[in-house]
Chain A
Amino acid sequence: MKTIGKIIGFLLLIGGGILMFIFWLMAMSEWLGFLGTILAFILTPGLVVFPLVFWVVEGVFPTFYFTVWGIGIVGAIIAGIFSIGD
């Protein structure tokens, strides 16, 4: 049961992380073109700063980014609970 709990938690965490990265990658490539794509791989999103920049540049609050971030946190909590005692 612990294994399944950890699998679920880590999959949610990794899934959330991948979607956050795709969001970051797309935003960077839209703003800076090919250079943005390369920079997206080199730089880290800057978890809190990036959504604020996105909000300022696009004029839209990045709800999707925070939603998948929240799901990732839920995954981390699940993985943490099932990892207690390991």
Chain B
Amino acid sequence: MNEISTSIKIKNQKRNNFFIARIKKYQIITFTLGFLLFYRFIGTLIIYFFIGKETFLETYHELSVWFFVITIPITYLVQWLIATWVASKFTAKTLKEKFYHHPIATIIFIVLCLTDFPYRLSGSNLGSGLIKFINAFEIIIYYTFINFLWWLLICWMSSKIWKRQRFQWNLYKKTIDTIFTIIPPLYKFILGLIVALLLFIILFLLITTIFHYSGVGIMKLFTY
């Protein structure tokens, strides 16, 4: 009996270690998906409790709120597992090497993405204000990730057909180096900006609700 409970404990500890190790290793991915989970989950609950149950049912095709309460966390957990699994297959160096080795596939893919992306965005109902910004950010993340997987497939097929690299351009290499230098801090800044704006609005609403602020101080300055 003791042996069984010990083995269960060890298994649980291993599972915990797996999640903690992944969270620690892929902090940006975890933070991004954690933020999007928070946004979707809280957003759904706000629509249900504050905007109205009828609007909620109309918007989400008569699906119960419990369906979303269960499926949203599961969906984001699966997404996190997939994203971290893909990330675990590469380091920055190996990924850069892959970009160096497949210049034509990369250029074609980037051009296709850039031309197709505006249509994808215009086809989605983004809302307005900060919500529009966050929804567009989420779509960009998913679109880029899906295209990245397609690009990997094309690279894999290309490496099976052409065994050695035929083209090598210095300008292309320099561009890839620049992109690899610019993208990480730019991504962190954009994500930080979105989170900061949302946090600002939440804190502002929280404080004004607690103190029953009606905006009279500001109105005084505007109505002179």
Residue ranges of A at the interface with B (Cβ–Cβ < 8 Å): 1, 3-4, 7-8, 11-12, 15-16, 23, 26-27, 30, 54, 58, 60-65, 67-68, 70-71, 74-75
Contacts and interface: CB of A to CB of B under 8 A. Distances in A.
Interface pairs A-B: 5 shortest CB-CB: A7-B192, A11-B196, A1-B27, A63-B213, A8-B196
A4 B30 CA distance: 12
Contacts of A61: 217
A8 to B, nearest CB: 5
Nearest to A7: B192
Nearest to A22: B221
Contacts of B204: 67-68, 71
A22 B169 CA distance: 51
B138 to A, nearest CB: 17
Contacts of A70: 203, 207
B63 interface: no
B191 A4 contact: yes
A63 B211 contact: yes
DSSP majority for the B interface? helix
Given A12-B196, A30-B221, A4 B188 contact: yes
Contact of A71 (B195, B200, B220): B200
Among B31, B188, B191, B221, the most chain A Cβ lie within 10 Å of the Cβ of: B221
A4 B211 contact: no
Contacts, number: 70
Describe A's contact surface by its main secondary structure: helix
Contacts of B191: 4
B46 interface: no
Given A7-B193, A12-B200, A60-B216, 4 more contacts: A67-B207, A67-B208, A68-B204, A71-B207
B28 interface: yes
Interface in B184-204: 185, 188-189, 191-193, 195-197, 199-200, 203-204
A62 B188 contact: no
A56 to B, nearest CB: 13
Given A65-B217, A70-B207, A71-B203, A1 B192 contact: no
A61 B185 CA distance: 41
A4 B28 contact: yes
A19 to B, nearest CB: 9
B4 interface: no
Contacts of B189: 7
A61 B197 CA distance: 25
B203 to A, nearest CB: 5
B208 A15 contact: no
B31 to A, nearest CB: 6
B221 A7 contact: no
